[in-house]
Structure 1
Amino acid sequence: MFGSFDFQEFLSAFIVLFAVIDIIGSIPIILNLKQKGRNVNANKATFISFALLLGFFYAGDMMLKLFQVDIASFAVAGAFVIFLMSLEMILDIEIFKNQGPIKEATLVPLVFPLLAGAGAFTTLLSLRSEYAPVNIVIALVLNMVWVYVVLKLTDRIERFLGKGGIYVIRKFFGIILLAISARLFTANLTLLIEQFQNLK
């Protein structure tokens, strides 16, 4: 059920989640929220994000079975979402718009959609089609620790990296996400084609 720990799988899962959650790239948004007087609670944001992501990681599979969708199909769909996210980061465009009615900053937009959004959900299930669950969960836990540290030290990190540093990091991880989406798409599309041929 959990599989065995594999450092390579853990490292790959960590980097993918790090790029998708992109807490460093969210620093300008967090600072903007604080300037507008919208409170950001690091403890609450980290805990709720982790609970949502972990819950979806384990319950998402059951939800897919309910709708008769397999992991490989979901991974292909997830590859498209990650591809669009990478375009946002590389081209400085907004594809996923947040136009929800809730104005409380910790839950929206910080927890959803910045930390635990559609991209993170689809990425978790897409990773599950390739890696053992234990490696993904450990990668998720360490990413949440990193999120907590960044939320606590947002002002210092922004001063240290500067706007230029944050911009470069965002572009770099955008390119990584683009490559990951291509690999997820090709690997799982091959699986779907093999399943289709076996049905004949």
Structure 2
Amino acid sequence: MVVGITGASGSIYAKRLIEVLVKEGIQTNVVATEKGKQVFKYELSIDLDTWINELNINYKNVKLEDNNNLFSGVASGSNKYDAVIILPCSMGTLAEISHGLSKNLLCRAADVALKEGRKLVIVPRETPLNTIHLENMHRLSTMGVAIIPAMPGFYHHPSSIDEIVDFLVGKILDYLNINNELFKKWEDTKYEI
């Protein structure tokens, strides 16, 4: 998997997704924009580079890529990763991907996913959305991209921020057909008013 992190708010989602993928033994290549690294540190009080290095002490299946390195393996269609997940995804990155601009590794990896028919998951974290944002999402959706907004559900009765985060990460994993128990799935319910 390739996990992209941009400068939009919501780094906690990326951190949790990476933790789950790595613990499941899934090779995870992380590509963060400079703003993504800055927001990650601002929101979580954790340096992304340091955190990835600490993960590598116990797990050898995570790699932090250089977003400027277009010679990275994830820049090529011959690299057989299964999906690219960009979360949080800024509207700027969304626009670049929507218009085929591959000037950095993150956008190139997304472009490769599109051209190779692999799963591309965009998790926009912006509100309100303007018409340009919606048009870019629509354009990508018509290409088969999964748009999974950072919109939590509450039918599982979350009692903490971690449970709200796990709901979204669980939804992403469900889409990727990765079994998880991160949140209670909807089931037939007898409800009386």
Which of the pair is proportionally richer in strand?
Answer: 2
Which of the pair is proportionally richer in helix?
Answer: 1
Q: Which has the higher contact order (CA 8 A, sep 6+)?
A: 1
Please report the TM-score for the alignment, with normalisation by the length of structure 2: 0.22
Tell me which structure has the larger Cα radius of gyration: 1
